Structure 1
Amino acid sequence: MTVTAADSRPARRARPAGIVSRGLAAVVDALVLALIGLTVQLGAGCARLMVVGPPFQVPDVPNWIAGPIGWTLAVCYLGGSWAVVGATPGDRLLGVCVSDRAGRRLRTVRALVRAAVSVTFPLGLLWIPFSKHRAALQDLVVRSAVSYDRDYG
């Protein structure tokens, strides 16, 4: 057992998060990203209205542009959240946090790589039930762990 620096009690080992918690957190984050995308499109429509005039029209962005922009937005949102606070809003709502295997917050590059793998291969979560340590594909790639946050338990 390890002993925390703040006191002499043994540190509790965080319990790995399961597929349901992580899947629901991903759904919440997808909804947040959709809301951000909608806000950006409405803002662009408002800017167009001020420059060109009526009628109000939301810009129609071609898929070959919207796809990479959406992917980049999602990677920055997820990676930034994991690097800065250790959890996305969806993770916080479900009481889970992302860290390296030692329990430390992911550094920026690892968080962004994890986010890129998560966005590119979202079905990587399906590996969790088969993993001894409840690891998804993105956890195996960057050696990360997702556990229930002790502050919520």
Structure 2
Amino acid sequence: MRPRWPGARAAGCRRSPARRVPTRDSAPGWSRGWSPPPSTRSSSAASCSAATSACRAALLIDPRGFQFPQVGVVFSLFWAFCVAVVYLTVSWTLSGRTYGYLVMGLRVLGRGGRPLRLVGAAIRAVFVVVVPIGIAWVLVSRDNRSLQDIVLGTRVVYDWQPRGAESPAQD
């Protein structure tokens, strides 16, 4: 059987077709080993926005030859850290619980039993993400408090709100 496109193998081949890699002239800023210009390296958000826009443009220009750019481990870890901190901060500020805490019936409270404010929740979130082993202190502590709770003065309490069981209708 004859290949359908130049550079393809015979029947049964799973290799992708020959791809035309954009050059600097045909698609500005895109080639193997692309990195954002020096002006955007100083700002992570700007480089992420530029990379996302460039990915979208490359996908629209040549969908078959599109490849995601290679991102480094540091870049990935930085954004994972940011997402985790934002998620925990917003959850603890708005309701005092994350989704997992909601399922387990737990709530985080600040000093004096008050809900955490934005700054307290953000500090606790950074502490939890940077020192996750501190949560294991609950297993050793007599008060069932994590290292983060001890240092920051927060407390995780049971706040289970059971739904009332519906009784069968009586005649």
Instruction: Give the TM-score category using the shorter length.
Output: 0.5 to 0.7
Structure 1 residue runs without a partner (length 5+): 1-43
* 2:156 counterpart of 1:146: yes
| Equivalence for 1:67 | 77
- Structural RMSD (CA): 2.3
CA distance in 1, matches of 2:119, 2:62: 41
Q: Secondary structure at the match of 1:54?
A: coil
CA distance in 2, matches of 1:51, 1:140: 55
From 94, 115, 123, the equivalent of 2:125 is 115
Structure 2 residue runs without a partner (length 5+): 1-51, 164-171
CA distance in 2, matches of 1:73, 1:58: 21
| Equivalence for 1:133 | 143
- The answer to whether the Cα contact below 8 Å between 1:114 and 1:141 also exists between their aligned partners in 2 is no
Q: Normalising to structure 1: TM-score of the pair? A: 0.63
* Structure number having the greater helix percentage: 1
Greater than 4 Å deviation, 4+ residue runs: none
| Equivalence for 1:49 | 59
CA distance in 1, matches of 2:69, 2:104: 35
Q: 1:81 to 1:51 in 2, by over 3 A?
A: farther
- Aligned pairs, number: 110
Higher Cα Rg, which structure: 2
Percent sequence identity is 35
Q: Using the TM superposition, give the Cα deviation of residue 46 of structure 1 relative to its aligned residue in structure 2, in angstroms.
A: 7.7
Q: Normalising to structure 2: TM-score of the pair? A: 0.57
